[in-house]
Structure 1
Amino acid sequence: MPSPTTYHSTAFLTARSPLNFALLMLNVEPRAHARTHKRFEHLWRHASRRLCADGAANRLYDSLDESRRGDFLPDLIAGDLDSLRGDVADYYAALGVPIEGEADQETHDFEKCLRWLQRWQSNEANHGQSNPAAAYSVVAYGAIGGRLDQQMANLNMAYSYKCFRDFFLVSDHSLAFVLQPGSHVIEPNRQVEDGTCGLIPLGSRCEGVRTTGLRWNLDGVCALEFGGLISSSNEIVEAQVTVQTSTPLLWTTSLF
């Protein structure tokens, strides 16, 4: 029996969406551009949960003037707290924002936040406050950019945490998510996605990948793998893109 088709939409980037998502802000320097500030504020307003990973709280605090900071209070600041400034911690603590420090060096700050979100999701399900269809989606802002080793760790989180409905890695200039084995329909948001895209075989060889809706479609003949073929700098040419894959595959697009 063929596997069910999974639909992916990035409409949440610019419009109100039924997507129940948690916004995780990571400690990466944002690009000082009015368009990206507007995008971040849109995501913040429409998120169901908002978390800052350690020093990301500094960046949130510094990006807002005093008159606006009170409108952007995270639900949680979590991490090993080696980057969180004292003045920032005092400010948010005085306004009732929980600050959870964990010294565990086996996990990074991003994963510490994901574990908190996982607990919330489990507690809500156990108390009948949600159902599996309403599981959180993750929007990790700042997950692409900065140090390469940290980016790879962030990508590993998207591959590892399958308990969430969707897992979007977002920066000022890129968006990525993992396509699990099966059939997928992707509806790009052309208000913010410029059409440049890629299919990246991280972690394993991907065989039998077939696509439609791209300038250079894949026909399943050649495997995707590092050391061989990867589909980078491709282009979206239709309103929908379809992808069939037998192994997890990273989908990426460029944002403007």
Structure 2
Amino acid sequence: MSNVIENPETIDVPIPSNAHTIDITSVFKPSNHSALLILNQPISVPNFKQLWSHYKLKICGDGGANRLYEYFDADSEREQYLPHFIVGDLDSLRDDVRDWYQSKGVGILPQYTQFATDIGKCLETVEVYYDLQNQGLELIPNEIDPYDGIIQKHSKLQGFNDNIQVIVIGAIDGRFDHTIHSIMLLFKLSKSNPNLKIFYLTATDLIFMIPKGLNYINYELIQDSIHGSNSGLLPLGGPITLNTKGFKWDVENWDSSIKGDVSSSNRLVGAKGVSINTNDDFILNIEMNYKKL
């Protein structure tokens, strides 16, 4: 029998001993292997420069380079924020932007195949980059087949299995089909590329996938920016059954589907985190208070 429980504005949520932990702090201060991807939407994340400083590998997806260029008013500042690579079919990349970044030593990595999207090409570039680095090698754009060389190299990865923290700016906005494709990738890559820990960041939200099973979402170190925030438990991959602890409206044995009931406009009231048990993967969004990060 399902049940909905309304909680006070703050409750303590014990960390389940056998839970898979998702540490939100690592999104904003990643360790070791990490990548920041910029896609073709205006950069509206308030703490963009701070994020840039914390992430090791920076990649612009095609027109994302235009957005990075336009984010700054002067070349003197622009020169402090050079991506490692610009990747994609380059149909959206302005000639003047390409020339400017190329003159500064940024790697231009055309991938003209239309059997992959720019975000997919960027994510495969991330894995290829770290796989080569693990072998003591470099990713050199001039040595990559401009049609689908990244896909070719990705199919021959040498077993680099360390987790890579990836944050994507511009994945959720603009064209609706692009947004849906971005959501689809969260489900698809969780199975095919589980070492990629992917989070989407917008001007208002952090969006990521909650995997099947018992999960603990830990935000203790940045609780001021998350505790009390609005949140949605979104069954975009199919029907799910949820048990939660730490939301304003917790649920027990609660069926949720896109054609039925959805827990939107919920709130995070767990003092340091929340626990979620789900019988299948789903999408969670958390409204961020960037001023308190």
Q: What's the TM-score, normalizing by structure 2? A: 0.77
Do residues 5 (structure 1) and 19 (structure 2) align?
Answer: yes
CA apart distance, 1:131: 6.4
Gaps of 5+ in 1: none
Which among 96, 110, 120 is matched to residue 111 of structure 1?
120
Do residues 93 (structure 1) and 102 (structure 2) align?
Answer: yes
Say if 1:3 and 1:182, in contact at 8 Å, map to a contact too.
Answer: no
Distance in 1 between residues matched to 2:209 and 2:203, nearest whole Å = 19
Distance in 2 between residues matched to 1:115 and 1:124, nearest whole Å = 14
- Give 2:79's aligned amino acid: G
- Give 1:183's aligned amino acid: L
Gaps of 5+ in 2: 1-15, 138-157
Which among 194, 205, 217 is matched to residue 186 of structure 1?
217
Residue identity over aligned pairs, in percent, reads 29
Distance in 1 between residues matched to 2:136 and 2:249, nearest whole Å = 48
Do residues 232 (structure 1) and 240 (structure 2) align?
Answer: no
CA apart distance, 1:166: 1.5
- Give 1:195's aligned amino acid: S
Which among 220, 228, 240 is matched to residue 206 of structure 1?
240
Distance 1:131 1:102, change over 3 A: closer
Q: Please give the residue correspondences for 1:98-177 in structure 2 after superposition, counting only pairs within 5 Å.
A: 98-125=107-134, 132=161, 134-162=162-190, 163=193, 164-177=195-208
The structure that has the greater radius of gyration is: 2
CA apart distance, 1:192: 3.3
Equivalent pairs, count? 246
Distance in 2 between residues matched to 1:19 and 1:101, nearest whole Å = 27
Say if 2:43 and 2:169, in contact at 8 Å, map to a contact too.
Answer: no
Aligned to 1:249: 282
- Give 1:101's aligned amino acid: P
- Give 1:160's aligned amino acid: K
Aligned to 1:29: 42
Distance 1:3 1:9, change over 3 A: closer
Structure having greater relative contact order (Cα 8 Å, sep ≥ 6): 2
CA apart distance, 1:245: 1.1
CA apart distance, 1:124: 3.9
- Give 1:237's aligned amino acid: V
Distance in 1 between residues matched to 2:80 and 2:99, nearest whole Å = 17
Q: Cα deviation per residue 1:40-81 (whole Å; 9 max; x = unaligned)?
A: 111111102100000110111111121111111111100110
Do residues 219 (structure 1) and 252 (structure 2) align?
Answer: yes
- Give 2:63's aligned amino acid: G
CA apart distance, 1:103: 1.8
Say if 2:206 and 2:287, in contact at 8 Å, map to a contact too.
Answer: yes
- The CA RMSD measured in Å over matched residues stands at 2.4
Q: Secondary structure at the match of 1:192?
A: helix
Say if 1:121 and 1:135, in contact at 8 Å, map to a contact too.
Answer: no
Distance in 2 between residues matched to 1:138 and 1:161, nearest whole Å = 12
Q: Secondary structure at the match of 1:223?
A: strand
Distance in 1 between residues matched to 2:169 and 2:101, nearest whole Å = 20
